[in-house]
Structure 1
Amino acid sequence: MGISDGNSLVQMCIVKVAQNMDVLEKKVSNLPVSLLKDLLPHLNIYYLNRIETAAATKGISTSVIWAAIWRDLDQTWRWRLKSALPDQDWKQRCLERLFHMVLFTQVRRGGSYLSNLSDSSILSMTVKHVQVLSLHTSTKNICSLASGDLRPILSSLEKGVTSLKLLDVKSLFKHGRKYVLFVLHRLLDHGSVREVVLRRNPDSSFLSWLTSRRRGHQLTVSAAPETPHTDGHCSVVDDLDSRCSGELEEPAAKRLALDMEENPEVLCSEFSSANSPADHCPEGQIHSLDFEVSKCQILNTVSHILPTWLCLRKLHLHSDWLISEQEMAVLVESLRRLFLNPGCSLTDLSLSHVSGHTHLMSMLRACPTLQSLCLEICPPADRNTWRQQPQFTENKEYNPSLKVLKLEDINLSDYHQEILQFLGCSVLEELSFRDCRLLDKCAVKKDFLLPFVEALKGISSIRTLMLAQNRLATSAIEMAALFSGCRPSKITKLDLSSNFILPAELLEFAQLLETYKPVQRLTLDLRFNPLDRDPEIKGQALRKLIPYCNILTDDWDSRSTMADHISVM
C-alpha cells in the first residue's frame, strides 16, 4: 500500500468518525492534534460546537471552520469589505444566519456541516445565538412563531434577541397582522429587545403602536419657565401639523377596532392559554431607534413622541428626501422639550438629508447633554433661501458633554476662529469634518492648519479625526505635526482619504512621522488619493509608515476617472 493509499485510508477513517460522532464523541478528544484538525471540517455544526472546547485545550481554534461555513452561507462575501473577526463572531454570524435561513427562507444542504440535522434540531441549536432578528417581506413563516409548536423557539428569542430589524412592515403584515403583532409584543415587551431598526416606511398605525408603550417611566417635570420663541417654532408646528394630519388620520371606528386588536393584553390572552385578559403585560423600553422616515412622519409621529420618550438613548433618522427647514424647526422644538426633562437619556443623535445648516446651533442648544451629533447637510433646492449660518460658537457652553461631532457637506471656510474657539473648550473623542471646504478661502493654508493642529493637540480625549474630502493636497503634510512636541496628540485614527494627496507629499508626511515616532499605533486612511501617479515614491512612503501605522489604501486608478480633478475644483 503506497503513501497515497495510506492518506486515502486516513481520510476515509476521518469521514467515518465524523458520521458516527454520536457514539465516538467522548473518544475524539484523545486523537492526536493533526488528526483532530483534519476531523473538524467534516463535523456538522452540532458536534463542531460541542467539540470546540476540547479542541481549544489542545491549542486548536475552530475559527477557520466557522469562517468557511460563513462563506458558504453568504455568497456575497466576495463583493463586500472583509475584516478579521474574533473566533466567537464567526460562529455567532454563522449560527444566526442559519436560524434565519431555516425558519424564514431555505438553506442548501450540500455541506457536511448540516448533515444528519433536521430543521427543528438546527433551530433549537441556533436560536440561542440570535442577537439580531431580521424580519422582512419574504419572512412568511413569522406567523408560525405564534403557534404552540414553535413557542419554545419564541421564548428563546425573547431571552436572546437585543436588536430587531423590520425591513418592510406593511408587506410583513400581509402574512397576518395579529400574529406579527403578537410576536413583536413578546420580543419588545416580554423580551430583551432594546434596539429597533425600521426601514421602507412603516405605516403610521404601526408606529403609534410601537411608540405608545415604549417611552420608559414618566418623570414629572417641575415646570421650567418657557422661553419665548422668537423664531416661530410653535407656529411652524401648528401650521405643518394641520397640513399633514389629514394624510394619516383613520376613521374612529376603524381605529377603535385596531386598538382592541393590537392591545398587548388581548394579544397575549388570545395566543397563550397561560394568560387571562386580566393579566397585565410588562412594558418594554426601546433605547435605540434607527428609523427611515417618510414624508410628514417627523411631524405626525416623531415630534409628538420625543418629548416623553425618556428611555431613548440613540435616535438615527434617515430619509431619501430632504428634511425641510420647517420640519427641522419642529424636530428641534421636540428635542428641546425632551431635554428639559431631567429623566432624558438621549445622548446619540444622527440625521441625514437635512436642508441647509441654519439649525446646527439651535440643535446644540436644544440638546445640552448630547454626546454624539451627526448631521448630513444638503444645500436647499432653492439657493435663494440659503440663510447666513449663526455664529459657530454661540452658547457653546450648553454642550459640555459632546464627545462626537460629525458634520458632512457644510461649508466651514468662513468659521476658522469659531472652530478654534470651540476646540479650545471641548472634550471631543471623535471629530469628523467631511467635505466641509475647510481651506477653500485660505490665502495661506498654514495660517489655519497650524493653530488647528495645536488646538487638536490640546484635546487630550480625542482619538479619531476624519478630514475626508477637504482638498488638503500638500497641506496634508501639516497634519503630521499632530504627533510632534512635548504633548503629542493621542489620536489613533486619522482619515485623510479623498484629499488629492500625491506620492511625494505622502513621502514627506511619512518622513515627519518617522521623526516624531507616534507613541500610539495609528490607523491611517489614504484611500481615493492619486498615489498611483508614482508607484516607486508611494512604496517608499508606505515602507516608512508601516512601523507606525495600520494603512488603509487601495488600487484606485486616478488617471481613469475625473474624481481627482473634481476634488480640487
Structure 2
Amino acid sequence: MGISNGSSLVQMCIVKVAQNMHLLERKVANLPVSLLKDLLSHLNIYYLDRIESAAASKGVSTSVIWAAIWRDLDQTWRWRLKSALPDQDVKQRCLERLFHMVLFTQVRRGGSYLSDLSESSILSMTVKHVRVLSLHTSTRNICRLASGDLRPILSSLEKGVKSLKLLDAKSLFKHGRKHVLFVLHRLLDHGSVREVVLRRNPDSSFLSWLTSRRRGHQLSVSSAPEASQADGHRSVLGEFDSRCSAELEEPAAKRLALDMEENPEVLCSEFSSSSRSADLCPEGQIHSLDFEVSKCDILTTVSRILPTWLCLHTLHLHSDWLISEQEMSVLVESLRRLFLNPGCSLTDLSISHVSAHTHVISILRACLTLQNLSLEICPPAERNQWRPQPRFTEHKELCLEKLTVRSTGPMTVTCFLPVLKLTPKLSSLHFTGIHLSQEFFHTLTGSNPSLKVLKLEDINLSDHHQEILQFLERSVLEELSFRDCRLLDKCAVKKDFLLPFVEALKGISSLRTLMLAQNRLATSAIEIARLFSGCRPSKITKVDLSSNFILPAELLEFAQLLETYRPVQRLTLDLRSNPLDRDPEVKGQALRKLIPYCNILTDDWDSRSTMADHISVM
C-alpha cells in the first residue's frame, strides 16, 4: 500500500513539475534519468523541444514521445507501414502536421502535448519546422497569412518552405483572390520555394502567372539551323509562338496574366507597409513542377512555355485522360527546342497516360541529355493501331541514368531494347506490366554494366530462371525487386530455383535490398534466410517478404534459421499482409527470435476477413 501511495506521490510531483516548467526548466537536467523519462510524456511540445538537448546529454531520447504524438495526429497510421522514422524526421513531421492543423483545421486538445499553448504560440513554434506547405480549400485561413497579425508567420514560411502543394487550386481563388496571390508571391518570389505540386489546376490566367517564375536571366532560345524530322510538329506549334514571344517581351510589372490587375510590386505595396510601389520584387524560379494537366493544357500552356523554361530541373505531368498523338507531338517538339538551348537544366521528366510506346524513343531523341525518364503507357488494344518504331539516326550514347516504364496493356520489351543498348550509364531500371524476352537480361549484362537498381513488377519471370541467374553472376546491383513476378509458378521443386538464386544473390557484394513481395513464396520463404549462411554471407540489410502467404509456423522456422546464422548487419524485414494472425502465440515466438536481428515492419492485417490470401495461392 505504501508503494502505491509513493508511486502516486511521485506522479503528482512529476505533473506539478510539468505544470511549472516556466520556473523549473533549468533544473530539469538535474533530475535522475528515470524521473526525466517519466516527465517527458507530461510536457507540451514547447518544453519538450526546449529540454531535448538536456535530455540527450543524459542519454534520454524524446523520439518515443514524438512518435506517440504523431500517432495521435495521424489517425491513418494504423493502416500503414509500422516503421520507425529517424528521431528528427518524426519530430519534424509532427510539428509540420500541427502547423497545418492549427492554421487550416482544428486540433483536438485531448493530449498534454498542447496544454497551456495558444494558437499563436503553436504556430510560432511549429512554423520553423515546415518544409512542405500544403494549401487547399481553406481560403479564409490562407488569407489570414496575408494579414498583419500573421505576417511574422508568413515571413518564417518564406525562409523555411522548400515545396509548395496547391491541392485544390480551383477552390483557392473563389474568395480572397488577391490575398492568396500575395501569399503565393511571397513564397515563390521572396521565399525559398523551388518545388511546386499543382492539383486540380485553376484557370489559365493563374497558370500563366505561376509559370512566369521560370526565366531568371536567360531568355534566349537557340535556333538550330539543322533540319529536323519534327517539321510537322512545328506547324502545330506555330500558332502558339506569337503569344509566347509576346509574353517573353513583357516587363516584370506585366508578368501577371491579362485578366489580372495585380502584379507582384502592387501586391507587396498593398499588403505590406514597408514596400513602396516603386520597389521591384525579386523573381523566383520554379525548379520542379509536379503538374496535374487538364484537357488541352499541354497545347495551351505547357508546350508554349517549355522552350524558355531554362531553370526547370524536374517536370512531372499527370493526367486522368489519354494524351493524344497531336499533343505528344507538340510536347516532344517543345522539349526538343528546350534541349537545343545550352542553358537547359531539365534532367527529370515524368508523363502519365501516353498513348504509344514509340514516344519513349521520340522523347529521348529530342532530349539527349535527359537523365531520368518515367512514362505510363496505355497501348492501343488493336494491334493495327500500333505505330512503327522510330529509330535513332545517330548512334549517340544517351545520358539516361534512370528509366521507369509502366504499361497498362499488353507490351513486349523488344521496343525498349534499342534504348537499353544506348544507355551505358543506366543505373536504375523499373518495368511494370511488360512481357520480357530472353534477350532482355542478356542486354542488361552487355549494355548496362553500371545498373544498380532493377525493379520488375507484374511481370512473369517463371520462364526466365536461367537468364536471371546468369545476369546475377555479373551484376553489381544494390537493389533488386521482383514484385508480383510469379517466380515459382512453374517450379516442380521450388528449391531447384531458389537455392541457386540465393547463392547468386550472396555473390553480389554490393546488394543491400531484396524485395520479393507478392510472389506466393509461402513455405519457400524459409530458404531466403540462407542468404546469411556460410563463409560468404550476404550483406543485404532490407528484405521484403510481404504478401507471400507466410504462416506463423513458417516464420518461426525462418526466425530459427536467422538465429542460427546471426546476420552481421541488422535487417529491416517487411512482413506485412501475411496471415500471421492465424496463430498469435507462434507468431509471438517468431517475432521474439527476430527482434535481436531485425527491425520488423508489420501491420494488423486480418487475413480471415479478406480473400486476398486465398487469391495469392490460386
Shorter-chain TM band? 0.7 to 0.9
Counterpart-to-counterpart distance in 2, 1:74 and 1:507: 35
Pick closer, same or farther for the CA change 1:399–1:297 going to 2, 3 Å: farther
- How far residue 318 of structure 1 moved from its aligned partner, in angstroms, is 2.0
**Aligned twin of 1:249:** none
Asked whether the 8 Å contact 1:511–1:544 carries over to 2, the reply is: yes
The secondary structure found in structure 1 opposite 2:145 is: helix
Instruction: Name 1:250's counterpart in structure 2.
Output: none
CA contact (8 A) 1:354 1:376 kept: yes
2:484 to 437, 446, 469: 469
Aligned ranges 1:133-144 → 2 under 5 Å = 133-144=133-144
Counterpart in the other structure of 1:425:
447
Q: Which residue of 2 aligns with 1:107?
A: 107
CA contact (8 A) 1:376 1:407 kept: no
Cα deviation, residue 185, structure 1:
0.5
1:409 has 2:433 as partner? yes
Partner of 2:355: 355
SS of structure 2 residue aligned to 1:6: helix
Please give the per-residue CA displacement for 1:76-120, whole angstroms capped at 9, x wherever unaligned: 221222321111122211211111111111112222221221111
CA distance in 2, matches of 1:265, 1:373: 38
In structure 2, the residue matched to 1:260 is: 261
**Alignment pair present for 1:392 and 2:407:** no
Q: Which residue number in structure 1 is paired with residue 574 of structure 2?
A: 552
Matched residue of 1:36: which SS?
helix
The structural deviation recorded for 1:183 is 0.2
1:540 to 527, 548, 557: 557
How far 1:401 sits from its partner (Å)?
Answer: 4.5
In structure 2, what residue type is equivalent to 1:305?
I
Q: Determine what percentage of the aligned residue pairs are the same residue.
A: 64
- Please say if residues 109 and 115 of structure 1, whose CA atoms lie closer than 8 Å, have aligned partners that are also in contact: yes
Of 522-531 and 288-297, deviating more is 522-531
Shift of 1:396: 5.4
Instruction: Output the CA distance in 2 between the equivalents of 1:67 and 1:312.
Output: 36
Q: Is the 8 A contact 1:364 1:398 kept in 2?
A: no
Whole-Å separation in 2 of the counterparts to 1:49 and 1:433: 43
Structure 1 position 64, deviation (Å):
1.1
Counterparts in 2 of 1:302 and 1:545: CA distance versus 1, 3 Å: farther
- Asked if the contact 1:367–1:399 (Cα under 8 Å) also holds between the matched residues in 2, the reply is no
> Could you report, residue by residue, the CA deviation over 1:428-450 in whole angstroms, capped at 9, with x for unpaired residues?
332323224456xx4xx344323
Instruction: Give the letter for the 1:468 counterpart.
Output: R
Shift of 1:191: 0.3
Residues 220, 147 of structure 1: alpha-carbon distance in 2 compared, 3 angstrom cutoff: same
In structure 2, relative to structure 1, the CA distance for the partners of 1:432 and 1:24 (3 Å cut) is: same
Q: Do the aligned residues in 1 keep the contact of 2:421 with 2:443 (CA within 8 Å)? A: no
Q: 3-state SS of the aligned residue for 1:95?
A: helix
For the residue of structure 2 that corresponds to 1:146, the secondary structure is: coil
Total equivalences in the alignment:
540
Alignment of 1:504-543 (within 5 A): 504=524, 506-511=525-530, 514-515=533-534, 517-532=536-551, 536-537=553-554, 539-541=556-558, 543=560
Indicate whether 1:43 and 2:58 are aligned: no
Residue 527 to residue 327, structure 1, CA distance change in 2 (3 Å): farther
In structure 2, runs of 5+ residues without a counterpart are: 245-255, 391-414, 492-496, 580-606
Quick check: 1:480–1:513 contact (8 Å CA) kept in 2?
A: no
Q: Supply the distance in 2 between the matched residues of 1:72 and 1:507 (Cα, whole angstroms).
A: 37
Which of 123-132 and 354-363 deviates more?
Answer: 354-363
Q: Please, which runs of 5 or more residues in structure 1 have no aligned partner?
A: 246-254
Partner of 1:193: 193
In structure 1, the partner of 2:229 is 229
Q: How many angstroms apart in 2 are the aligned matches of 1:433 and 1:387?
A: 25
Indicate which of 449, 453, 460 corresponds to 2:472. 453
Q: 1:541 to 1:25 in 2, by over 3 A?
A: closer
Q: CA deviation at 1:405?
A: 3.0
Residues 153 and 186 from structure 1, CA distance in 2 versus in 1: closer, same or farther, beyond 3 angstroms? same
Q: Tell me the alpha carbon deviations over residues 138-181 of structure 1, each in whole angstroms, 9 at most, x when there is no partner.
A: 35311011111111111011001111111001111123111101
User: What residue number does 1:490 align with?
Assistant: 510
Give 2:312's aligned residue: 312
* AA partner of residue 265 (structure 2): E
1:329 aligns with 2:329: yes
Task: For residue 14 of structure 1, give the secondary structure of its aligned residue in structure 2.
Answer: helix
User: CA–CA distance in 2 between the matches of 1:200 and 1:121?
Assistant: 33
Contact 1:469/1:567 (CA < 8 Å) preserved in 2? no
Helix, strand or coil for the counterpart of 1:274? coil
* Pair 1:346 & 2:313 matched: no
Deviations 1:276-305, CA, capped at 9 Å, x for gaps: 222211111222222222222222222222
CA RMSD of aligned residues (A): 3.1
Tell me how far apart the structure 1 counterparts of residues 236 and 500 of structure 2 sit (CA, whole Å): 46
Residue 380 to residue 476, structure 1, CA distance change in 2 (3 Å): farther
SS of equivalent to 1:258: coil
